[in-house]
Structure 1
Amino acid sequence: MAYYRRRTLTRRGLLRRAAALAAFGPLFKSTAKASGSQTGSVNRYSAPSQLRITDIRACRVASNFDYPIIKIYTNQDVYGLGEVRDAGVEGLALVLKPHLVGRNPLDIEPNLDRIRKFANHRRTGGGYSAIDIALHDIAGKVYGVPVWRLIGSRYRDRIRIYCDTNESKDPKVYAERMRKRKEMGFTFFKMDIGPNLISDVPGALIGGVATEKGLKLYCEFIQAVRDAIGWDQPLAADHFGPLTLNDSIRYARAFEPYNLAWAEDMIQVGHLGQG
């Protein structure tokens, strides 16, 4: 019959066990500390369901143009920044303030639906764009993720940018300005080809649209810029004026020899479907 011998706890045995428990003490202390740090890292200050827009203000950043920047304030000191596109007017965003104050900025689509009817095409939609950017900025901060994570996936962490420049009615001056942009390190360029370049030339324009004479003058500008930056550099163009579909086709054929990367917004809003 199996039996177990009764063991008597002596003073020496008691001290040995106490020493063993003392050795494990720092481990338990470290575990408790780690557990506490994890709990402390939780952002208990931000309560997304209680977040509310309290104010919208604007300022201007002075550069080559004055760029209006808006700031959406909330009741939890989380704010969002947005830019009124194309150096527009901050009032286009501030006028939307009464429709957003008191609402949760994380309800991005409902908020945008609410103000969409007060926006419009092109630059008159700059206020809407600024609100859109600022709302996403707030959401990214609240959830602790970059905005690209909110709207999809990241395909790259670097992008190539193009450089525009101030125009001139003198093709040589225009080309020199673009050449200096190349010296700054830019490798992609865009130029404005609009009626103001040739407005002083008799017979070059009819109603803001270039005649054949005007198109030849436009081509002189493109040729000068091409000679300045090289034919191996991508070059795009913009600001053509109030063109119809047929005007756009005529322009594109005239510019074809210069291998433009793109011709931007040739058909203006309001002229779609017109010949």
Structure 2
Amino acid sequence: MKITAIKTYAVKVGIRNQLLVKIETDEGIFGWGESGLSGREKAVVGALEHYAEFLRGRDPFKIGSLWQEMYRSQYFEGGRVLQAAVSAIDIALHDIKGKALGVPVYDLLGGKQRDHIPTFATTFAAPGPEMIDQAKMLVEHGWTALRLSPAGHEEKQIYEPREHIAATAKWLVKAREELGEDVVLGIDYHHRLTVAEAASFCQKMPSGTLDFLEEPIRDESPGAYEALRRLTDVPFAIGEEFSSKWQFQPYIERDIHQFNRLDVCNVGGLTESMKVAAWSETHYVDMMPHNPLGPICTAATIHFCAAVANFSWLETRASPAETHLGFDSSDFFSTQPRLEGAVYPVSDAPGLGVEVNEDLLAKQSFEFWEAPHLKRRDGSVTNW
């Protein structure tokens, strides 16, 4: 079997652009992958065009070898753009191999360790009574792990952390009181805080209020996270923007965090994800994968979650609290993962188990989208 074509579809599907990649072979078997670099899909398309030049004619079964060749056979190796391209290709190659062998992708990763994948769901209301009502509704629907909403994320231009952390902390304490001790509660700060701001936020709540704090500060400096660790006892969930095992290395080896927000569509696909998971297992760090994209990403991540021992929850954006997203992707993906209550069943279909309407994809166009460029009130730029 040989690779004959690598096709890219950077198109608007529902509320967001998706970058889907189809790899075709001379035996008629094809695979689908997805890239995760949201907002910079065009850059990844360019990288995919470069990789396609030497991947055509190659054996798609040699997934590990092709991964190494894509990573090492260039002077400027790695980085988020290139690894997002490698991720999509790697996932598609696993889809091909699973289909060719007649086995689900999880069998290529060592076999299934669980029959369904627990998820965590996210509220979208600002901290207040509505946020707590949404959380209670999710618990009634079966969720035992929730990610709550910080204040200030609804503002599109101005963000001042100190104006929001006190209000957020107050309502998180109330949420814990209302929801009880058995529900897992976390919050995502989208790396908007400094070490001092994140420490102040945590210190405004009794110990045990939060079960995880996601992405409180930027990730470039592991030492900064170590400084924050000394100032709070809240477990950290980080890593969704990491693009290789090397970025995870200092966090794992120095025992800085407790949950890996690994993204299979950014880190280097399933090949790299399994290495990060195994390494994390030696330090008792659990996988809590990032999963904000489309059904290809969800399916690949489900297979990953099924095959690893050190797993906690998978992110889902399909809960009843996020019906405001308002899009049914069935026309584009006739077969795709579907929640059953608060869990995803693990498909036993060959490959990823997703069917894609390529003709409909081809009719869609790309729509440029730019994340909000947030500023402080003094006019300086801050993190989105």
TM-score by length of 1: 0.62
Structure-2 separation of matches of 1:124 and 1:220:
42
Pairwise CA distance, 1:245? 4.6
Find the partner of 1:131 among 89, 100, 105. Answer: 89
Q: Is the 8 A contact 1:244 1:267 kept in 2?
A: yes
Pairwise CA distance, 1:119? 5.2
| Structure 2 unpaired stretches of 5+ | 228-384
Structure 2 counterpart of 1:142: 100
How many aligned positions are there? Answer: 217
Find the partner of 2:189 among 220, 233, 239. Answer: 239
Structure-2 separation of matches of 1:194 and 1:248:
14
Structure-2 separation of matches of 1:248 and 1:255:
12
Matched, 1:178 2:135: yes
Structure-2 separation of matches of 1:176 and 1:66:
31
| Structure 1 unpaired stretches of 5+ | 1-49
User: What does 1:221-236 align with in structure 2 at a 5 Å threshold?
Assistant: 221-226=171-176, 229-236=179-186
What amino acid is the match of 1:69?
Answer: L
Matched, 1:97 2:54: no
Pairwise CA distance, 1:136? 1.4
Once the two structures are superposed, residues 204-247 of structure 1 have per-residue CA deviations (whole angstroms, 9 ceiling, x without a partner) of 93xxxx33x64321213323544564442111211343445555
Q: Partner of 1:235: helix, strand, or coil?
A: strand
Q: Is the 8 A contact 1:161 1:188 kept in 2?
A: yes
Larger radius of gyration: 1
Q: Is the 8 A contact 2:189 2:214 kept in 1?
A: yes
Once the two structures are superposed, residues 244-274 of structure 1 have per-residue CA deviations (whole angstroms, 9 ceiling, x without a partner) of 5555444433345453221122342223324
Pairwise CA distance, 1:114? 4.0
Structure-2 separation of matches of 1:53 and 1:140:
18
Q: Partner of 2:117: helix, strand, or coil?
A: coil
Q: Is the 8 A contact 2:169 2:202 kept in 1?
A: no
Q: Which has the higher contact order (CA 8 A, sep 6+)?
A: 2
Structure 1 counterpart of 2:123: 165
Q: Partner of 1:145: helix, strand, or coil?
A: coil
- Aligned CA RMSD, in angstroms, stands at 3.6
User: What does 1:187-226 align with in structure 2 at a 5 Å threshold?
Assistant: 187-193=144-150, 195-196=152-153, 205=160, 210-211=161-162, 214-226=164-176
Normalized per residue, which structure has more helix?
A: 1
Shift of the 132–224 alpha-carbon distance from structure 1 to 2, 3 Å rule, reads farther
Structure-2 separation of matches of 1:256 and 1:97:
52
Q: Is the 8 A contact 2:151 2:165 kept in 1?
A: no
What amino acid is the match of 2:106?
Answer: W
Structure 2 counterpart of 1:76: 27
Q: Is the 8 A contact 1:92 1:126 kept in 2?
A: no
TM-score by length of 2: 0.47
Structure 2 counterpart of 1:15: none
Matched, 1:110 2:65: yes
What amino acid is the match of 1:150?
Answer: L
Q: Is the 8 A contact 1:54 1:75 kept in 2?
A: no
Q: Partner of 2:147: helix, strand, or coil?
A: strand
What amino acid is the match of 2:135?
Answer: M
Pairwise CA distance, 1:130? 2.5
Structure-2 separation of matches of 1:81 and 1:262:
33
